[in-house]
Amino acid sequence: MIKSYDFKSPKKFTKERMSTVENLYDSFARALAPYLTGLLQSFCEININGIVEKRYQEFSSSVQDHSLFGMITMSPANKDYNEAPLTMEVDTRLAFFMIERLLGGVGSEYDLSRDFTDIEKAILQYVLKKITEFLGEAWGQYLDIEASLTGLQTNPHLLQMSAQEDVVIQVELEVVIEKLRARINMVMPAPNVEELTSKFGYSFAVSHKKQDEDKQKSKRHYIEQHLLESEVELRAILHEFTLDAQDILQLAPGDVIPLNKKVDSAISLYVEDVACFEARAGQTKMRKAVEISREL
């Protein structure tokens, strides 16, 4: 197969260098997913959808009028390296989903075409700042560097990261939460990516760096804490049986429905529609109660 080649914008990055970038952002995605899972109280999965080398003009022309951008500065501890600008583009559907969930909603109204309010921007700035911290940790596995969120932008025409003809590296992450599939784009000028990743070494390009065990334990503890704080529905079921629709329509106050169970027989205790315990019905301090007798 013959492929067209753009001589105006030749590809400068080797497969090994792209593999290095992929390993870095794969580590970032694996760290960010548990955080969003706990924050939004819903399972989140993040995968790398693609890494491309393109002109900045191609990226800027592809974004919508109502967008969300986090302006990030990567500052290496070694002053021989230049500070690197990085633009994080967040899908507006993901942004509105996060806002609704953080304000107590179910996260169903996210396909909106409008700008963000000042309150919404403040909420998003908090979330993007936390995401930036995870980004800094991912880069920090390979280089002594600090990532800082320097601003929030919603107008793509005001972005000034690079000249239109400059080459950038775009990493597209796919975020899946419930029925929502959204994207997060990480864009950095190619010269900065080349300068920073040149010090990673070839070994990082072919294999993932093992994460520190303490960090793994900390992340696991973080997820467990958020799960422990989650509210679940607890139901005591006396008995289940089937009635005809005609019988149900004829039910009236005072009717007695006999159950095929003895008065002192055990009942089932359900946690989120899953039978977890066997219990006995009773009373305590003038309130109806159930006493758990055994775990199912």
pLDDT of the residue at 202: 47
- CB neighbourhood size of 3 (10 A): 4
Q: What is the mean pLDDT of the chain?
A: 82
Cross-strand partners of 71: 87, 151
The CA distance from 267 to 235, in Å, is 10
Where do runs of H (alpha helix) occur along 156-232?
A: 190-197, 202-206, 213-228
Kindly state the tokens that stand for 159.
Answer: 């972005």
With a pLDDT cut of 70, the percent of the chain lying above it is 87
The CA distance from 105 to 100, in Å, is 5
The CA distance from 63 to 155, in Å, is 10
Residues with Cβ within 8 Å of 220's Cβ and at least 6 positions away in sequence, in order, are none
pLDDT of the residue at 243: 80
Residue 205 clears pLDDT 50, i.e. is over it: no
Mean pLDDT of 61-89: 86
- Tens of pLDDT, residue by residue over 246-290, are 888 888 898 888 877 777 788 888 887 788 888 888 888 888 888
- Tens of pLDDT, residue by residue over 166-185, are 888 999 999 999 889 999 99
Higher pLDDT, 66 or 208: 66
The CA distance from 295 to 245, in Å, is 35
Burial class (CB in 10 A: 0-12, 13-18, 19+), 178: middle
**Domain limits, the chain:** 15-228, 234-295
Please tell me the CATH code under which domain 234-295 is placed.
Answer: 2.30.330.10
The CA distance from 67 to 272, in Å, is 38
CATH level 3 topology of 15-228: Chemotaxis protein chec (3.40.1550)
Same fold, 15-228 and 234-295: no
Residues with Cβ within 8 Å of 193's Cβ and at least 6 positions away in sequence, in order, are 13, 21, 84, 169
- Give me the DSSP letters along 37-62: HHHHTS-EEEEEEEEEEEEHHHHHHH
